[in-house]
Amino acid sequence: MSLIKPSQIAKFAALLAIYLLVVYVIPRPEAVKPEGWRLSGIFFATIGGLMLQPIPGAALVLLAVTLTVLCGALTISSALQGYADSSVWLVVAAFMISRSLLNTGLARRIALFFVRAFGKSSLGVSYSLAFSDVVLATIIPSNGARSGGVVLPIVRSIAELYGSKPGATASVIGTFLFGSVYQSICISAAMFYTGQASNPLAADIAGKAGYSITWTSWLVAGIVPGLCSLLVAPFVVRFFLPPVVKHTPEAAEFARKELTAMGPMSTAEKILATVFAGVCLGWVTSGTLHKVDITTTALIGSCILLVSGVLTWEDVKSERSLWDIFIWYGGLVRLGRALNETGVTEVFAKNVANLFTGEGWILVFAAALVIYFYAHYAFASITAHILAMYPPFLAVLLAKGAPIGLVAYAFATFVNLSAGLTTYGTTPTPMYFAMDYVSMKDWWKVGFFMSLVNLAIWSTIGFAWWKLIGVW
């Protein structure tokens, strides 16, 4: 029996072709060093590999990280820095808390509560979870902590409540819920100043350019287009990922009976609920009442669960998805940041802007916004995307005479919406994808079509609303 199949050989050949095309056919910009250009070749080949899947994604990313060392683009210490990144460990801690919620039955209890209140249809469950994240987004300034640490375990437990698990039963309701809720959390991240950790960074960049963005002004600007996108998103996802279970009129009564049967909370549930509430409170007050990083808070909560026995180390070791995500997400975070460090993304943004030197601001704005949006295929971090491309595009458009408010809000919000494109777009993305309810092909397909819907809504209703409230 052959160890490697002909189809795998063909896919690896395609990835090699991508690398050779980038490095040896496309002219290297003078501002980018040869090692930075080789890094670009590896990165784009890796993105191609995540779509073609010659080997599992984590193995492919580990191969890419190793190749960056062999080609001289990074040192081994530098190449492995992604695995020490705080956002990666936030994912790990969120998985630990999620496992505790499932093990103790607290997640099932919460899921039953949601089903009792909104479970008459799959759409109702999706909307209830989406708007739960919207409420949390007003106070928890991290989509990883909020959407991955709080909402995700509930999504997973509701899916399992209906007997929908990864594999043959995923399409019962789980595939739809994971696809729909994930697209919704990208929208809620765009709606609020606290919707995502790097939104204040975008506001700060706009402030330095002469336009002030506050928590209140972002809320007013984002609420109308955001609500429109949130209302449409489940229908778009349902078109591509239709659930077997659409109407569940008996679900509310079933959930009521199950909650009664569960009885009062166990000691383990009470400990977990206290820890969970404490972690959420720590996330909410981070940067105001204290300076403890949100990842540190999550790890403290995880350690308390381990010490108390609510979570065992065997539970952690057996969580295969956790370690799979640790390898591929950590590697992608490092590759994306390395591109930024070598100046590749900044050169790209400036060259795009230079293509429109003789055009008016409207055409430049439209072209730059679309390119900026879909450039997120090359980023595993919204923060890195903002740092690399927001300042040069903002400067070029202001020089063209574009309204500063329109440009500032558009580039600040659209980058969050673009996180819905891929399986690595922002911190909670790999958490949702690693649950194995949605295939990579379906994830990317839904992400692309949802991107068209979001672009249409925010560039029409959104821009019109911003005109009405005086943003531009």
Residues 35 and 72 in one domain: yes
User: Are 466 and 218 within 8 A, CB to CB?
Assistant: no
| pLDDT mean across residues, the chain | 87
- Does residue 279 lie in a domain region? yes
Residues 97 and 51 in one domain: no
Give the residue from 79, 103, 134 where a domain finishes.
79
pLDDT of residue 469: 96
Q: What is the DSSP letter of 378?
A: G
The domain containing residue 69 runs over which residues? 1-79
- Does residue 375 lie in a domain region? no
Q: What's the pLDDT tens digit per position in 52-102?
A: 778 887 899 899 999 999 988 899 999 999 899 887 887 788 778 878 877
User: Are 99 and 317 within 8 A, CB to CB?
Assistant: no
Q: Reduce the DSSP state of residue 38 to 3 states and report it.
A: helix
Residues 264 and 311 in one domain: yes
Residues 256 and 237 in one domain: yes
Instruction: For residues 245-253, give the mean pLDDT.
Output: 76
Q: What is the DSSP letter of 438?
A: S
CB half-sphere exposure, 317, CA atoms < 13 A:
3
pLDDT tier for residue 2 given thresholds of 50, 70 and 90: low
Residues 123 and 70 in one domain: no
pTM: 0.70
Residues 298 and 200 in one domain: yes
Q: Closest Cα partner for 183 from 462, 461, 449?
A: 449
Residues 50 and 96 in one domain: no
- Does residue 407 lie in a domain region? no
Q: What's the pLDDT tens digit per position in 320-357?
A: 777 877 887 788 778 877 887 887 877 876 777 677 66
The first and second tokens of residue 175, run together, are 């595939």
The pLDDT of residue 369 is above 90: yes
Instruction: For residues 185-207, give the mean pLDDT.
Output: 85
Q: Reduce the DSSP state of residue 472 to 3 states and report it.
A: coil
- Does residue 449 lie in a domain region? no
Instruction: For residues 121-135, give the mean pLDDT.
Output: 87
Between 205 and 17, the more confident residue is 17
Instruction: For residues 17-21, give the mean pLDDT.
Output: 94
Between 222 and 155, the more confident residue is 222
- How many Cβ atoms are within 10 Å of 380's Cβ, its own excluded? 31
pLDDT tier for residue 106 given thresholds of 50, 70 and 90: confident
- Does residue 35 lie in a domain region? yes
Say how far apart CA 376 and CA 230 lie, in whole Å: 21
Residues 62 and 144 in one domain: no
Q: What domain count does the chain have?
A: 2
User: Are 139 and 194 within 8 A, CB to CB?
Assistant: yes
Residues 65 and 100 in one domain: no
Residues 167 and 310 in one domain: yes
Residues 154 and 302 in one domain: yes
Give the residue from 23, 53, 79 where a domain finishes.
79
How much of the chain exceeds pLDDT 90, in percent?
Answer: 41
- Does residue 337 lie in a domain region? no
- Does residue 119 lie in a domain region? yes
Residues paired with residue 247 on neighbouring β-strands, in sequence order: 121
Residues 107 and 201 in one domain: yes
pLDDT of residue 141: 59
- Does residue 428 lie in a domain region? no
The first and second tokens of residue 355, run together, are 């293509």
Determine the distance from the C-alpha atom of residue 208 to the mean position of all C-alpha atoms in its chain, rounded to a whole number: 27
Instruction: For residues 107-127, give the mean pLDDT.
Output: 82
Give the residue from 79, 106, 128 where a domain finishes.
79
The pLDDT of residue 1 is above 60: no
